[in-house]
């Protein structure tokens, strides 16, 4: 290591540019299997962020099945998921532009299965399966209503869409606020699904229902499991029509099988199989033809493994996004590690990479894995942080200097820090930054009790835990106490704004589409999250005083640190007026700040040029505030 070049932390030369996130990059967002065929969806930032579906048959080269101008994406719940499925080599998919359901076979033109909606994207479909006889797609539909130029809360329902192009749609199940996982049994006789109502979120309480399918309708629907305080997800039928599902009734999301008296625990322990249902059509376990299941598990230690009822199988992969079973009863995973992006991997004990769209050609020393640390919180409890030290094969900081720290607050807030390769994160560590990716109390992957510790406390303990993580790393001698920044998006953006309002630990901050006014969020957001805050904060407007007290916009006089604010103009989850309120306050208080509004972007940036611009703007902003000289030529963000 004697040949290392010495340069101040934060300004190291790095081959990992912001363009590395998008140039020629395709991200695999989901997989489906049919016999030996592998289907997957690719997100393509350099094509405007569109999603295409491709198929690989008999190990031949992948073929894009969707038309070249299509974008496979549903807006159900605004977060989407489950925008496509496959039956007998036919692809069924939702086109983003009009949200209509279509079907297509390779080499042919798509056939529309649903009519033009009455307004724009008013009819939205997702999370479907085709009945065994091939006649119906059973899926979730979300119907939006407009009266006198005002949109009211949409209706969610389960529907059957005829596959013959006749445009017939049968309403199967209605009345609850939300539905997911409609799954017909292999013999076509039964339908299983989950449902829940306001003010619950699916990770707090859902119900598992089963009904009979008869003449294109569902009859004799019956609740078989679940409650307001038990989260059930991913019901699946075995080949012999046994019903499996995930439940956190033990305090951990484990696998159960329904029986006449209740259910049997099949794969259980102090680990989580299920993940929060932000997006539809999750697949965390699968069932082989002999009826034996295999699941992906996440342990509190951060390890990800495969498990059956009798064994646990260690993996080199740090994260599993989906688990499926192919026609040969082999496990196929969509998995990632800290050096490899999402890849399609076959096998359990012995694994083979079938497809990895983004070969990583950088030196492995840029991608040293993080260390998961349990740290004390300010009030004597505990939380977790994934700590990434600066990482570079040929550079180091001056003797006696400590690196700047970037604290990351994940979104949700019901979610967790990413345990896999993030080129955006490595952009910072390869330049000599340390990263603290905080799993504050309320994060998932540590059991239900840890998740529920955020109940009534959002805006307090998540913020305090990010502060505690930074102080912990300072006390451990890892980072420079004078150069600590905090960054987050959505709920994480709210944590950033609150941290900068209520604490003085951070020298700068970056908020992406962050919540500034909790009252506005309670009054003006989409249906899926419209009652989310009832449990995280309190019922609104009954407990309005709490909303007012915790909203950063009401404490702008306490802002002292420079801030960059990034926002999408079409964000339906956190509308642009939230960002504009903060920017106006920073301006009136004469605090150095930058504001970047990305036209046409929603909740999260998808277009390649905006992904690049957002990251470079943050780095330019922090470089100016901390006095770094950026190692490469990037546009200098104006600071007002």
Residue 2 pLDDT level (bands cut at 50, 70, 90): low
Question: How many residues are there in the chain?
Answer: 640
> What was the pLDDT predicted at 1?
47
> What was the pLDDT predicted at 572?
79
Instruction: Inform me whether the pLDDT recorded for 588 exceeds 50.
Output: yes
Instruction: Inform me whether the pLDDT recorded for 117 exceeds 50.
Output: yes
Q: Is residue 301 within 8 Å of 372, Cβ to Cβ?
A: yes
> What was the pLDDT predicted at 316?
93
**DSSP three-state, residue 60:** coil
Q: Is 407 inside any structural domain?
A: yes
Contacts of 488 (CB under 8 A, 6+ apart): 408, 409, 410, 411, 494, 495, 496, 510, 511, 512, 514
**DSSP three-state, residue 14:** coil
> What was the pLDDT predicted at 149?
64
> What was the pLDDT predicted at 578?
87
Arithmetic mean of pLDDT over the chain: 95
Tens digits of residue pLDDT in 528-581: 999 999 999 999 999 999 999 999 999 999 999 999 999 999 987 788 988 998
Q: Is 495 inside any structural domain?
A: yes
**DSSP three-state, residue 545:** helix
Q: Is 600 inside any structural domain?
A: yes
Q: Is 141 inside any structural domain?
A: no
> What was the pLDDT predicted at 21?
84
More confident residue, 514 or 216: 514
The residues facing 567 across adjacent strands are: 597
> What was the pLDDT predicted at 619?
97
Q: Is 634 inside any structural domain?
A: no
The 3-state secondary structure of 463-525, one letter per residue: HHHHHHHHHHHHHCCCCCCCCEEEEEECHHHHHHHHHHHHCCCCCEEEEECCCCCHHHHHHCC
Tens digits of residue pLDDT in 404-425: 999 999 999 999 999 999 999 9
Q: What percent of the chain has pLDDT over 90?
A: 87
> What was the pLDDT predicted at 573?
77
Contacts of 466 (CB under 8 A, 6+ apart): 407, 409, 438, 440, 486, 495, 499
Instruction: Inform me whether the pLDDT recorded for 143 exceeds 80.
Output: yes
Q: Is 602 inside any structural domain?
A: yes
> What was the pLDDT predicted at 62?
92
CATH number at residue 13: 3.40.50.1820
The 3-state secondary structure of 413-466, one letter per residue: CCCCCCCCCCHHHHHHHCCCCEEEEEECCCCCCCCHHHHHCCCCCCCCHHHHHH
pTM of the prediction? 0.95
Tens digits of residue pLDDT in 11-43: 999 999 999 888 767 889 999 999 999 999 999
Helix (H) or strand (E) holding 147: strand 136-147
Work out the average pLDDT over 453-466: 98
The pair of structure tokens assigned to 163 is 């596959």
CA 179/CA 171 separation, integer angstroms: 13
Give me the number of domains the chain comprises: 1
Contacts 24+ apart (CB under 8 A), 300-306: 300/270, 300/271, 300/445, 300/446, 300/447, 301/372, 302/372, 302/384, 302/386, 302/419, 302/445, 304/419, 306/331, 306/348
Q: For the ranges 24-38, 139-153, 372-386, 469-483, which has the lowest average pLDDT? A: 139-153
Q: Is 36 inside any structural domain?
A: no
Q: Is residue 227 within 8 Å of 208, Cβ to Cβ?
A: no
Q: For the ranges 142-151, 156-165, 468-477, 620-629, which has the lowest average pLDDT? A: 142-151
- Report the half-sphere exposure of 279 (CA within 13 A, side-chain side): 17
CA dihedral 123, 124, 125, 127 (to 10 degrees): -150
Q: What percent of the chain has pLDDT over 70?
A: 99
Instruction: Inform me whether the pLDDT recorded for 358 exceeds 80.
Output: no
More confident residue, 632 or 496: 496
- Report the half-sphere exposure of 499 (CA within 13 A, side-chain side): 34
Tens digits of residue pLDDT in 237-251: 999 999 999 999 999
Domain membership of residue 582 as a residue range: 5-17+362-626
Please name which of 538, 532, 546, 542 lies closest in space to residue 204, comparing C-alpha atoms. 532
Phi then psi for residue 614, to 5 deg, are: -65, -45
Q: Is 202 inside any structural domain?
A: no
Q: Quickly list H helices, 540-599.
A: 544-550, 576-588
The residues facing 50 across adjacent strands are: 44
Residue 191 pLDDT level (bands cut at 50, 70, 90): very high
Instruction: Inform me whether the pLDDT recorded for 150 exceeds 70.
Output: no
């Amino acid at each position: 290591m004697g040949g290392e070049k010495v340069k101040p932390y934060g300004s190291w030369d790095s081959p990992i540019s912001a363009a590395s996130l998008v140039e020629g990059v395709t991200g695999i967002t989901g997989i489906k299997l049919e016999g030996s065929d592998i289907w997957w969806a690719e997100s393509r930032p350099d094509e405007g962020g569109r999603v295409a579906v491709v198929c690989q048959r008999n190990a031949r080269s992948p073929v894009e099945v969707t038309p070249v101008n299509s974008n496979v994406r549903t807006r159900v719940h605004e977060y989407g998921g489950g925008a496509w499925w496959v039956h007998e080599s036919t692809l069924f998919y939702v086109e983003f532009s009009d949200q209509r359901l279509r079907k297509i076979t390779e080499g042919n033109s798509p056939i529309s299965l649903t009519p033009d909606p009455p307004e724009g994207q008013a009819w939205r479909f997702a999370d479907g399966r085709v009945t065994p006889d091939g006649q119906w797609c059973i899926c979730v539909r979300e119907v939006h209503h407009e009266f006198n130029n005002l949109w009211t809360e949409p209706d969610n329902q389960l529907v059957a869409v005829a596959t013959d192009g006749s445009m017939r749609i049968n309403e199967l199940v209605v009345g609850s606020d939300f539905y997911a996982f409609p799954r017909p049994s292999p013999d076509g006789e039964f339908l299983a699904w989950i449902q829940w109502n306001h003010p619950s979120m699916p990770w707090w309480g859902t119900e598992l229902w089963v009904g009979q399918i008869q003449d294109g309708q569902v009859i004799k629907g019956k609740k078989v499991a679940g409650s307001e305080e038990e989260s059930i997800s991913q019901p699946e039928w075995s080949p012999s029509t046994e019903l499996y599902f995930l439940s956190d009734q033990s305090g951990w999301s484990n696998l159960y099988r329904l029986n006449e008296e209740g259910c049997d625990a099949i794969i259980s322990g102090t680990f989580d199989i299920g993940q929060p249902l932000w997006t539809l059509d999750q697949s965390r376990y699968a069932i082989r033809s002999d009826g034996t299941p295999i699941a992906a598990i996440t342990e509190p230690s951060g390890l990800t493994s495969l498990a059956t009822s009798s064994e646990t199988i260690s993996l080199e992969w740090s994260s599993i996004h989906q688990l499926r079973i192919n026609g040969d009863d082999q496990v196929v995973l969509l998995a990632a590690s800290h050096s490899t992006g999402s890849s399609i991997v076959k096998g359990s004990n012995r694994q083979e990479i079938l497809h990895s769209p983004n070969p990583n050609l950088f030196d492995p020393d840029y991608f040293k894995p993080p260390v998961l640390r349990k740290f004390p919180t300010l009030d004597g409890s505990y939380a977790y942080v994934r700590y990434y030290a600066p990482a570079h094969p040929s550079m180091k900081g001056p003797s006696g200097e400590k690196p700047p720290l970037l604290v990351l607050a994940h979104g949700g807030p019901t979610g967790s820090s990413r345990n896999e390769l993030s080129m955006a994160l490595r952009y910072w560590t390869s330049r000599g930054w340390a990263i603290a990716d905080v799993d504050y109390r309320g994060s998932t992957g540590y059991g239900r009790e840890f998740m529920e510790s955020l109940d009534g406390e959002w805006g307090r303990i998540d913020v305090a835990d990010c502060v505690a993580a930074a102080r912990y790393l300072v006390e451990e001698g890892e980072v420079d106490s004078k150069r600590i920044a905090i960054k987050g998006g959505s709920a994480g953006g709210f944590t950033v704004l609150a941290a900068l309002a209520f604490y003085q630990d951070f020298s700068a901050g970056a908020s992406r589409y962050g919540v500034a006014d909790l009252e506005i969020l309670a009054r003006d957001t989409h249906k899926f999250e419209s009652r989310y805050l009832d449990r995280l904060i309190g019922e609104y407007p009954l407990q309005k005083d709490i909303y007012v007290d915790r909203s950063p916009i009401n404490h702008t006089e306490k802002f002292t640190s420079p801030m960059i604010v990034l926002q999408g103009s079409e964000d339906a989850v956190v509308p642009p007026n939230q960002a504009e309120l903060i920017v106006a306050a920073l301006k009136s208080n004469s605090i150095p700040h930058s504001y970047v509004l990305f036209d046409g972007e929603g909740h999260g940036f998808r277009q390649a040029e905006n992904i690049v611009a957002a990251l470079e703007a943050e780095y330019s902003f922090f470089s100016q505030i901390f006095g770094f000289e950026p190692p490469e030529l990037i546009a200098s963000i104006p600071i007002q």
